Structures are given as C-alpha cells and as structure tokens.
Amino acid sequence: MSGGVRIALLLPDLLGTYGDRGNVLVLEQRLAWRGIPSETVTVLSSAPEVPESCDVYLLGGGEDVAQTAAMRVLSRSPGLQRAAARGVPVLGICGGLQLLGTEFTTGDGVRHEGLGLVDAVTEPAGERAIGEVTANSVLAGVGMLTGFENHLGRTRLGAGSVPLGRVTRGTGNGHERAEGAVRGHVVCTYLHGPILARNPALGGLLLEWAMGAPLQPIAEPEELAALRVERTRVRARNPK
Ligand code: GLN
C-alpha cells in the first residue's frame, strides 16, 4: 500500500442510487484527516477489466436492468472476486448486495446467477420495501446502523453468511429480521444514506481491514459532529 489506500468504486455508471457514491467521499475524507493518502479508482462499465490490486471495493445500488448489466461486467473480469478471495474488504449496497449473493431473481421473474461472495439468494416480493431502517449490527464496535431502503427483492441467507444486523425498524432482507450479509470482509447491506456517512463506525472498520492497521483516533471535529448529528436523528426516529 505504498502509494496510499486504493479505493475502487465499481461501475458507478450502473450502480449508485441515493448517493451511494458518497461512501467513497467519506473514506477519502477520513483518511485525509489522518494524513493518509488515498487514490480512488473509478471502474466504469466500459473498462476493459476490473483491477484486483485495490485495498477496498465499493458497489452501490441499482435498478434491475442496471444491476443485471453490472453482473455481466463483473463476471467477465474477476478482479473483484480475486481481491475478495484475498480478504480485501468489499461493501455492496442493495442491488450490489443482491449481485454479490449466489443468485437473484429480478422483478420480471428472471433468475440470475450472482458472484457468490456472500451466501444469499434474493427473490422479488409483492411490494417494494421503502423507508428508514434501523438495525443492530453484529460487527464488533459498529452498534446501531441507520439508513434508507428502497428495494423489491427479499434476501434469504445461507449458512455461509451471517446478517450484518438485526432489524429494529424497517424491512432489511425481509427474512428473520436480518439486515444485509457478511462473509469474511465482504459486507452487504440494503442501507443507503450514504451508509458510511450515517454510520461512521462501519466505515472505520472497512478502513482498518483495508489498511491492516487500526484507524488512529484523532481530534476530528467534523467526524465527531457527523456522528452527533446522526445519533440525534436516531433518537428522533426511536423516541423513548
Ligand atoms: N433492483 C433491486 C431491487 O429492487 C435493487 C434496488 C436498489 O438497489 N435500490 O430489489
């Protein structure tokens, strides 16, 4: 990682609903506050190949057609799969979650094979799940997650993955109150927000995995202010 942390933003021309691209800005800024250089590698769907040498990979959400097109690109050039097999962290959101699973069926009833980085099967439901979500994360130190969801698919996890969290409000995966999926350093979620702006601890964990070193606590007024604003929002949503 001599040239700094390499952040791969995958297929933002296909995947990236509700400002998911903001997750990259959050990672860049948190590194910059610590004086750690970073380089963002934006991989468009027209790129000849997906690089496998990045330190963290991000995929946003997408409509069914865009998601299926993204799946075709990623299965053609297995840079993401190779990096994930080495333990490089991956964050997949919504449509990104679905295509990182083993299979997904789109709203038109067509079944598609996924990349299989998490053990998850998605099928369409009768109605979209739309709205605010809160969930308690199973990842150490991450705590409560909040975000916004808008999806038709419902996702059932197999034995090879654990949920990212347990839903306390909203739908999430739509089965067993699970939200998202985790397998090793591959983290998938239905939460937009962008999720790493609304949940700084999750972004911190991804950066620690990316760097293989703890993220040093520093005096970061902006970061702490963002956290305070988010906690205020959470309390407002869960009055008691
Ligand atoms: N196309 C998927 C669904 O509707 C994912 C949607 C999204 O990424 N917002 O379930």
pLDDT digits (tens, 9 = 90+) for 73-86: 999 999 999 999 99
What pLDDT does 218 receive? 77
Within 8 A by CB and 6+ apart from 103, the residues are: 111, 112, 113, 114, 121, 122
Q: Is 165 in the pocket of ligand 1 (CB under 6 A)?
A: no
Catalytic site residue 175? no
- Atom 5 (ligand 1) nearest CA: 95
Q: Is 150 in the pocket of ligand 1 (CB under 6 A)?
A: yes
Tell me, in angstroms, the distance from the centre of ligand 1 to residue 108's CA.
13
Tell me, in angstroms, the distance from the centre of ligand 1 to residue 167's CA.
18
Q: Would you call 184 exposed, middle or buried from its count of C-beta atoms within 10 A (0-12, 13-18, 19+)? A: middle
The structural domain count of the chain equals: 1
CATH of the domain at 65: 3.40.50.880
What pLDDT does 236 receive? 65
Domain range for 140: 5-237
User: Can you say how many angstroms the Cα of residue 4 is from the centroid of all Cα atoms in its chain?
Assistant: 21
Instruction: Tokens 């080495």: give the residue.
Output: 86
Q: Cα–Cα distance between 34 and 16 in angstroms, integer? A: 27
Identify the segments of the chain with pLDDT beneath 70. Answer: 1-2, 220-224, 226-227, 229-231, 233-240
Catalytic site residue 151? no
Token pair in block for residue 17 = 């609903």
Token pair in block for residue 231 = 């906690």
Q: Would you call 16 exposed, middle or buried from its count of C-beta atoms within 10 A (0-12, 13-18, 19+)? A: buried
Pairing state between β 90-93 and 144-157: unpaired
